[in-house]
Amino acid sequence: MQLYLTYSSPFARNVRIVIHEHKLQSCVTEHFAHPFHNREELTSSNPLGKVPCLSLDNGTTIMDSEVICAYLDKQLGDGRLSKALDEDWDLKTFCSASSGLMEVLVLRQVEKIREREGLVSDFWWQRYNRAIDRTLNFFESKVAQFPNALSLLHISLGSALSYLDFRHEDFDWRSERPQLAVFSKTLETLESFSANTLHE
Ligand SMILES: N[C@@H](CCC(=O)N[C@@H](CS)C(=O)NCC(=O)O)C(=O)O
């Protein structure tokens, strides 16, 4: 399988962690593909031109990150990372909220790039900040409901929080949210997390 990714993408980090959890490293060849470079091998696999994107040996493409993680866990792994989420609508909703949080965090980073180009929008900056604040508060109140065993929800929220540290150091998310701070610290000690950190 071919995995198109960047190492700074929190969505790709989810996939890398799932690969590690199921010891699938030898089945996957990673290709660094910055989406802004519009490389043919990425855009011909994913018309949206986004990473991560998984190309199977039979030519099938799997995307986006949530589908890739579920595929790796259920088809190639033992399904343990999806098990608790399958029939639980609260947990499924938390997964969507976590994925949405990651989307806003990436958009906030794009806004910083636009600022450097003189295209900053105060409206969107404030809107992103408020959405991030509210969603982090939501998770501070919900994290106690998470299942005990590691799941795709843990991986997604853990990646979102690590992306805050990686790209948004100016955003103090820990001081008012002690439960999330402990959640993140605990996850980052796992081998699958520490072997797959975010970097350029
Ligand atoms: N919903 C997608 C989001 C992926 C995504 O937004 N990836 C970013 C990198 S972190 C990207 O490729 N951005 C390029 C673009 O939006 O054109 C997923 O879960 O995989």
Domain count for the chain, please give it: 2
The residues near 101 (Cβ < 8 Å, ≥ 6 apart) are 131, 132, 135, 136, 139, 157, 160
pLDDT of residue 93: 98
Query: Tens digit of pLDDT for each residue in 149-180?
Result: 999 999 999 999 999 999 999 999 999 999 99
- Domain with residue 56: its CATH number is 3.40.30.10
Give the residue from 76, 93, 114 where a domain finishes: 76
Q: What does the alpha-carbon distance between residue 94 and residue 143 come to, in Å, rounded to a whole number?
A: 9
Query: Tens digit of pLDDT for each residue in 66-77?
Result: 999 999 999 999
Q: Burial letters for 27-54: b for 16+ Cβ neighbours within 10 Å, e otherwise? A: ebebeebebeeebeebbebbeeebbbbb
Ligand 1, residue 99: give the atom nearest the CA.
Answer: 19
DSSP 83: G
User: How far, in Å, is the centroid of ligand 1 from the Cα of 186?
Assistant: 26
Pocket of ligand 1 (CB under 6 A): 9, 11, 35, 49-52, 64-66, 106
- Domain with residue 158: its CATH number is 1.20.1050.10
DSSP 3: E
Indicate if the pLDDT at residue 115 is higher than 90: no
Cβ-contact 18, 82 below 8 angstroms: no
Question: Is 60 in the same domain as 101?
Answer: no
Q: Which of 8, 11, 43 to mutate to test the pocket of ligand 1 (most atoms within 8 A of CB)?
A: 11
Q: What percent of the chain has pLDDT over 90?
A: 95
Question: Is 30 in the same domain as 121?
Answer: no
pLDDT tier at 60, thresholds 50, 70, 90: very high
Mean pLDDT (whole number) for 17-35: 98
pTM: 0.97
pLDDT of residue 120: 85
pLDDT of residue 157: 98
Mean pLDDT (whole number) for 77-103: 97
Mean pLDDT (whole number) for 3-24: 98
Question: Is 93 in the same domain as 183?
Answer: yes
Give the residue from 44, 76, 108 where a domain finishes: 76
pLDDT of residue 183: 98
User: How far, in Å, is the centroid of ligand 1 from the Cα of 178?
Assistant: 29
Asked whether residue 199 is domain-assigned, the answer is no
Mean pLDDT (whole number) for 21-43: 96
Give the residue from 76, 111, 140 where a domain finishes: 76
Question: Is 92 in the same domain as 141?
Answer: yes
Domain extent, residue 131, equals 83-194
Question: Is 114 in the same domain as 172?
Answer: yes
Asked whether residue 173 is domain-assigned, the answer is yes
